[in-house]
Amino acid sequence: MSIVNLLRAASLSALLAAGAAHAQTVGPQGETATPSGDISVPDDKVDALKNGKHRAALLWHDQSDFVNAVTAGASDEFARLGIEVVATTSAGFDAAKQRSDIETAMVKSPDIILSLPLDPVTSAAAFEEAKEKGVKLVFLSNLPKDYVHGTDYAAVVTDDLFQMGKQAADALAKAMDSKGTVGWIYHDADYYVTNQRDNAFKTTIENDYPDMKIVAEQGISDPARAEEIANAMLLKNPDLGGVFVTWAGPAEGVLAALRANGNKTTKIVTLDLSEPVALDMVRGGNVTAIVADEAYELGRAMAATGALAILGEETPAFIVAPAVTATADNVGEAWQQSLHVDAPKSVMQAGK
């Protein structure tokens, strides 16, 4: 999932207590994960939804390929269920704009709202009117403060966070023949999504690959500092075999540092699809794999959850969509699986 500038959320303590111990993704309040594949609206319920002439609003945090894919998944599912999408907005990571988007959308009387709350505190107030009017709220990756499942919202839907980190570790191990030294560049913020992904990588290396050792660790909050951090890491560890980078934005900076140093051997794994990072991968550069979520599936599951809530069905508090590992060999298929669009022409042509 694309996690640039997402805001901090509580519950790192729950993550540390449960996530590593059980090697599985847990929710923002320690909830057990339900696979998105388990969430579907039965065919015999579709007519009831269509007859209800329900409406939905998609109130997003930003605009990106990831958001476009989530929107497509949700829109296709709503179309199947006869639910009209009456608003689609982008807040540009502005909590005040998101609140305005919610107020504007409420004029159109939606029965379902899908959204990523930008800030747990301000979002709690922003969604209050929708909550009080009985709108079924389905959240992407974040949760307003003190909201109660089943009463205030239908579900939080996000990636299978542990699997994303684990698959990144497995891919790096494969590229390094399961031996050598590793650098770990993690997201330096209290946010359960990135924390779980990053820690799952570290846990997998430490538990599953005894001949691989993390010798350098550095947190990052500003992606612009990635090149500087990588240069310092390489200065102390010139023979570093591989580097994990928390997401693709800062991975571009790490890649720039390796190129500036003439380093063609240190391998990079990162999370979330990116054209510049994928180009290096298909050209046989430092990047060995990119792990992504199935963004289209996130949208489908969010829409299906909202529809089930309208029907009065019980919905799980926390739902996760699968992860997919993109390599030079399968980048086209992985792009489709994640985003339901073709990989950029530059990436596909460079891989020929």
| pLDDT range class, residue 63, cuts 50, 70, 90 | confident
Q: What is the pLDDT of residue 230?
A: 97
pLDDT tens digits for range 314-352: 999 999 999 999 999 999 999 999 999 999 999 999 977
- How high is the pLDDT of residue 16? 38
| Degrees, nearest 5: CA angle 213-218-222 | 145
pLDDT in tens, 165-198: 999 999 999 999 999 999 999 999 988 899 999 9
Average pLDDT over residues 119-134: 95
The answer on pLDDT for 2 being more than 80 is no
Q: Helix or strand or coil: residue 320?
A: strand
Q: How large is the average pLDDT for residues 295-305?
A: 98
Q: Is the pLDDT of residue 13 over 60?
A: no
**Residue 207: pLDDT over 90:** yes
Q: In this predicted structure, what is the pLDDT of residue 351?
A: 73
pLDDT at 94 over 60: yes
Structure tokens at 54: 């329900």
Q: Would you say residue 95 has pLDDT above 60? A: yes
In eight-state DSSP terms, residue 137 is E
Q: What's the confidence (pLDDT) of residue 11?
A: 38
pLDDT (0 to 100) of residue 18: 38
Mean pLDDT of 72-94: 97
Sign of the dihedral through C-alpha 150, 154, 157, 163: positive
Q: Tell me what pLDDT residue 20 has.
A: 41
Kindly tell me if the per-residue pLDDT of 98 is higher than 60: yes
Q: Which residues pair with 186 in a beta bridge?
A: 219
Q: Quick one: 211 exposed, middle or buried, by C-beta within 10 A (0-12, 13-18, 19+)?
A: exposed
In 3D space, the residue among 170, 162, 201 whose CA is nearest the CA of residue 318 turns out to be 162
The mean pLDDT value of the chain amounts to: 92
Looking at 224-309, which runs of residues are DSSP E strands?
242-245, 267-271, 287-293
pLDDT (mean) for 249-273: 97
Tally Cβ neighbours within 10 Å of residue 63. 13
Whether 42 contacts 308, CB under 8 Å: no
Per-residue pLDDT band at 10 (split at 50, 70, 90): very low
Confidence band of 163 (pLDDT split at 50, 70, 90): very high
